[in-house]
Structure 1
């Protein structure tokens, strides 16, 4: 297992270098710059030219790229042109909110998706099976942002049950008050995701459970007189979790990446919202840092998938 981890980390080095080139080029091809339009219509061109020169935006692209790359190797992601803060501090401020929301969302998604898939597969053809299959078919066909807006309008603005912006009440004092306030702000967006984005998890697990139920190893266990519950949980369920585990690594790293649409709609101050704001203001340093961070997490997620798969199914061993 350690050989796998070391080999994958070594493979990540050229992948990360190629990623930095692509991300830098994409950011530079965006129209506009961080300074144009920020100072009003009466700002003279000389001021804009001076600001661009001081920021190094007039240097050739290769010079800007290697300067940026050299700073990254020293742990310096640069300063935000717009917010006048270091990009590392901006990410650190937003990362905590994103992680909190991501963990709660992941827990709720699996807490809803796995039991409903098991209930549907173990009662195939029943009303329970038809209900959950129909529910996931409907929610899977509706764009996620539509359901987010619907939940926000009903439970945020109409019923006023949950806050519609922010991550913590500014008047909260003390650890417990801050904790409950944070949870209160996260409930609506997390539940919105968990209720309407379980279609992949549900369909994948349900199909795997139905396929495993008719497998030879299950019939052999039943012929030996193994109790039904033991057959299901030890043989059917564990083997059916393999396709779910193959995507679990990406679900874990998504906790740190942030949900762009979700955080924007619910005005939640996380990584996703910061990314959107950076694009709108052409804040190149912040854009590059966030995309590089997300790309690195994607590579980590791919490695975690291999580890999870080999752990769930002992027959799968990656040398």
Structure 2
């Protein structure tokens, strides 16, 4: 089975997983206490039993739960995620407006965590018993143990109160004026603290993992042979060492993507970042079931796609792996 067949098979598995996620989330959300009709009616003084009954009929909430599930799955298959109870807009429209900021936050923090974490791990692996290795171990342990919302609050205190360098609210300035490039700079300026907050915990994991993996690889026979041939330390570390140490790191990147998404939801709430996390928070408070289900669906979709891309990347990181045999 070639790459195309493997990807096709993984897509089928991913589709089945998404259906399972939809069904599970549907039952969990509808099992939560509270009446969505009350949330739709809001604080209207005229929200009497007759009005509530009309709302339930209008939104199909009076139908049996299995019937509601069947209707919902059929609509999702057609690309219809329903209408938001609170915003009274198509859920797909709401998510499309918030998806870009979330993807920007997630991928920028992932790039920072990978680049800095792997660099720290490689430097620490050169002298496992040295001072730098000990510093990396301590820093990574603190970063891994600190809750993401606590790290965000500490960065806000440090860089908004003690040293007011970066903005801590929103994605752009409230009174921003300028051209396209200035707009991009403003977004990146606002991105620094949220992306750093989310990157800290994953940077800690990647640095520890890359350090351990590099120490193991540098003790292998082929590395000793490379050094015996007179290759430079740079060539030994990066061409023979890092390339072979990347496989477990790539594996963890794929596994941790779900945690990255959930961490992004918390970071967006701390920094008022206009992504899906902020929308999810508002939907929970307002019992906006269709919007919340749509957000969970897109989060699961991002995780499935990330895991498929991770599996495919094995073939390029380590040519000895043949995807078709798995």
Q: Same fold (TM over 0.5)?
A: yes
Greater Cα offset, 218-227 or 282-291: 218-227
Deviation at 1:270, TM superposition (A): 0.6
- Structure 1: stretches of 5+ with no match in the other structure: none
TM-score by length of 1: 0.92
**Change in 2 beyond 3 A, CA 1:44/1:85:** same
Greater Cα offset, 298-307 or 223-232: 223-232
Aligned residues: 319
Greater Cα offset, 96-105 or 286-295: 96-105
Deviation at 1:213, TM superposition (A): 0.8
Q: Does 1:188 align with 2:193?
A: yes
- Where in structure 2 are the equivalents of 1:237-276 lying within 5 Å? 237-249=242-254, 259-276=264-281
TM-score by length of 2: 0.90
For 1:247, what is the secondary structure of its paired residue?
Answer: helix
Structure 2 distance, partners of 1:155, 1:228, is 39
- Please, which of 278, 285, 306 is the counterpart of residue 280 of structure 1? 285
Structure 2 distance, partners of 1:143, 1:253, is 16
Confirm or deny: 8 A CA contact 1:205 1:244 kept in the other structure.
Answer: yes
Q: Does 1:175 align with 2:177?
A: no
- Report the counterpart of residue 15 of structure 1 in structure 2: 17
For 2:38, what is the secondary structure of its paired residue?
Answer: coil
Structure 2 distance, partners of 1:255, 1:152, is 20
- Report the counterpart of residue 54 of structure 1 in structure 2: 58
Runs of 4 or more off by more than 4 Å in structure 1? 250-258
Residue-by-residue CA offset, 1:231-263 (whole Å, 9 max, x unaligned)? 221111111111111133456788877711111
- Where in structure 2 are the equivalents of 1:121-270 lying within 5 Å? 121-173=125-177, 174-249=179-254, 259-270=264-275
Structure 2 distance, partners of 1:250, 1:156, is 33
- Structure 2: stretches of 5+ with no match in the other structure: none
Residue-by-residue CA offset, 1:191-226 (whole Å, 9 max, x unaligned)? 223344411101110000000111122123233333
Deviation at 1:268, TM superposition (A): 1.0
Residue-by-residue CA offset, 1:88-136 (whole Å, 9 max, x unaligned)? 1110111111122223212221232111111111122222121121111
Deviation at 1:158, TM superposition (A): 4.6
